[in-house]
Amino acid sequence: MTDKTIRTVAAGLCLAAVVFFGACGGKNGNSGVRAVLADYIGHLLILPADSVCSLFDRSYGIAALDADYLVVSYIKSEGCTPCHLHLPYWKAFGSLLDTLSSAIAVPVLVIEPDTLEKVAGFLRTANYDYPVVIDTLGTFSALNRLPEQDFLRTFLIDRNGNILALGNPVEHDKVARHFMTLITGYDKDETPSPLSVGKNKIDIGTVSQSFVREFEFLVDNSSGDTIRVESVMVPCECVVAEADSILPAGSGAVRVTFDASATDGAFHHPVAVRYRNVDSPIIFHIYGYVHR
């Protein structure tokens, strides 16, 4: 960056929203990711204090959040709105931040929509109750010179607007843990997981909107106990997923069905599976591009 101050303007309606990179850069991308981190961390992300957020029958300014930390994520929403917003994940992450007693941390989504009405209507029906800035003019992206990598377009900032980390905590558990360490000031000890996966990502390439397919992932259990599924979370109605309990020293399947009929353009669908008595979820990723 040429200026240590990243100036942002929340143009448009402000309705209802942090970051570090995990193993997201690809085999040739780690050096590029490190360069981005060096370029952004320590700089300022400024959200104008006079921005007014409206959520249902309430209105408030960003400053009224009085948060120690903000997790600010930029999302360009085109085509399938639910596919891009991943609101179930952000809602779960916001609920996790709400449980913290050592600091106040709030997720803030900055959404640049193709149409205002579609995004605003979806937010109302989704019952999403964390801050969102709907930036119809694209001012945020124009002024921030955002990283090219989508997964680096989420910023963890402190009360003074200093960027502490980049990365997407709802798509990558390592990023979420790093954020929580920075916010709480301590690194939570986690019991080593007995579960492992050989492959958790699939790039389906370019497909048409008639594309429907089931993908299967395998999870290995190295323990002597049966490990049962606690919950399965999907980003939108385009994806259906189910997971099996895993027998001792055995393997269990996670089956993910993707229906491209409502998707248009590039997409990334994370599927998070939580198992009982296992600290962290296993997140599976399906990438691709859907053409009409």
What superfamily would CATH give domain 5-184? Glutaredoxin (3.40.30.10)
Question: By C-alpha distance, which of 8, 231, 273 is closest to 140?
Answer: 8
Q: Quick one: average pLDDT of 145-172?
A: 90
Q: What strand order describes the sheet that includes 132-134? A: 132-134, 105-113, 69-77, 154-158, 163-166
Which has more confidence, 161 or 231? 231
Question: What is the pairing mode between strands 44-46 and 52-55?
Answer: unpaired
Crossing angle of the two packed helices 173-184 and 87-98, in degrees rounded to 10: 30
For residue 60, the model assigns a pLDDT of 65
Residue 11 has pLDDT above 50, yes or no: no
DSSP-based three-state secondary structure for 57: coil
Q: Is 158 exposed, middle or buried (CB count within 10 Å of its CB: 0-12, 13-18, 19+)?
A: middle
Residue 181 has pLDDT above 80, yes or no: yes
Confidence of residue 6 (pLDDT cuts 50, 70, 90): very low
pLDDT, tens only, 63-76: 777 899 999 999 98
Q: Where are the domains of the chain?
A: 5-184, 195-291
Residue 58 has pLDDT above 90, yes or no: no
For residue 175, the model assigns a pLDDT of 93
Residue pair 157/70 in contact (Cβ under 8 Å)? The answer is yes
Distance between CA atoms of 119 and 68, rounded to whole angstroms?
28
Compute the 3-state secondary structure of the chain and give helix, strand, coil in percent, each to the nearest 5.
Answer: 25, 35, 40
Residue 240 has pLDDT above 90, yes or no: yes
Residue 136 has pLDDT above 90, yes or no: no
Poorest-confidence range of 5-9, 78-82, 159-163, 247-251? 5-9
Poorest-confidence range of 36-50, 138-152, 246-260? 36-50
For residue 292, the model assigns a pLDDT of 77
DSSP-based three-state secondary structure for 85: helix
DSSP-based three-state secondary structure for 124: helix
Poorest-confidence range of 107-121, 149-163, 269-283? 107-121
Confidence of residue 25 (pLDDT cuts 50, 70, 90): very low
Residue 270 has pLDDT above 70, yes or no: yes
Distances (CA, A) of 2 to 5, 40, 43, 224: 9, 11, 10, 56
For residue 14, the model assigns a pLDDT of 36
Distance between CA atoms of 94 and 86, rounded to whole angstroms?
13
For residue 218, the model assigns a pLDDT of 98
| Torsion angle defined by CA atoms of residues 102, 94, 189 and 159, in that order, rounded to the nearest 10 degrees | -40
Q: Quick one: average pLDDT of 181-208?
A: 90
What superfamily would CATH give domain 195-291? Immunoglobulins (2.60.40.10)
Chain-centroid distance, C-alpha 246: 27
Question: By C-alpha distance, which of 181, 185, 180, 165 is closest to 38?
Answer: 165
Tokens, residue 85? 């917003």
Distance between CA atoms of 83 and 118, rounded to whole angstroms?
13
Tokens, residue 133? 């800035």
Q: Quick one: average pLDDT of 64-90?
A: 86
For residue 239, the model assigns a pLDDT of 96
For residue 57, the model assigns a pLDDT of 54
Tokens, residue 104? 């106040």
Poorest-confidence range of 45-54, 130-139, 281-290? 45-54
Q: What is the mean pLDDT of the chain?
A: 82
Question: By C-alpha distance, which of 238, 202, 211, 233 is closest to 80?
Answer: 238
For residue 141, the model assigns a pLDDT of 80
Which has more confidence, 106 or 190? 106
Confidence of residue 55 (pLDDT cuts 50, 70, 90): low
Distance between CA atoms of 162 and 97, rounded to whole angstroms?
19
Task: Scan for tokens 């189910």, then name that residue.
Answer: 242
Which has more confidence, 104 or 12? 104
Q: What strand order describes the sheet that includes 229-233? A: 201-208, 282-291, 265-275, 229-233
For residue 93, the model assigns a pLDDT of 94
